Amino acid sequence: MGKHKAISENEQSIIVKNILGAKDKRKQVEIEADLHESSIGIIKDILKEHGVNLRILNGGSHKKKRLEDELIDEAPKEQAIINEAVEAVKDFDAALSKGEQIEEQEHSKTANISQEEKQQIFEASLAAQREKKQNEPEPIIIGSAPKQICSEDDVLDGIRKKVARLIKQRRELKAQLDAKDQELAKYVEFFSAEMLQIDALRKDGGISG
């Protein structure tokens, strides 16, 4: 008990109860020290020995948790994390093992294929490639050596572009021809008017034929 050994266990329990139940706990500590002719320090020691956190004197919680208790409480959490990590490793190992088994099975299947079966697979692959080529449009060979090989789409696209250029050139030439026709029409109209005047003068006798 130290310096407060004169205060009995029963009295100490009452002191702790009174302080915990008091609205102003700091003030109650002073009161209990006066009642038992003791010091505030001794009353605080009694509180600590009974598991009371002295933070209650400043408005904190009275519950006191020892470091050992905190470690005990944290142990299940840490163990749960460890268990979870162990399970994750087990799952990874299982998946890895399964992958290796599948790879071994595939390798075993390939290894067990006879030479005849391999030849059949090879021929089937060649047949598929030939069929694919047959379905493709035949290329068009243009010119003599060195020959230029073009696809049907390339040839048709070139023809379309050539036709488009010719149509554009024709439109430009027609526009120029129309402009020349309009210019010539002005001269024809002018000379037609002059010829009419000359004919009229001839009829009037103003101009000898």
Distance, in Å, from the CA atom of 7 to the CA atom of 9, rounded to the nearest integer, reads 7
In percent, the amount of the chain with pLDDT more than 90 equals 13
Is residue 54 packed enough to be buried (19+ CB in 10 Å), middle (13-18) or exposed (0-12)?
middle
Query: Phi then psi for 42, rounded to 5 degrees?
Result: -65, -40
pTM over 0.75: no
Residues 13, 24: Cα–Cα separation, whole Å: 18
Tens of pLDDT, residues 154-167? 777 778 888 888 89
Residue 12, exposed/middle/buried by CB under 10 A (0-12, 13-18, 19+)? Answer: buried
Interval 168-200: pLDDT, tens: 889 988 888 888 888 887 777 777 777 777 777
pLDDT of residue 64: 47
**What's the average model confidence in pLDDT over 64-69?**
48
* Partner residues linked to 149 by β-bridges: 141
- Give residue 98's pLDDT band: very low, low, confident or very high (50, 70, 90): low
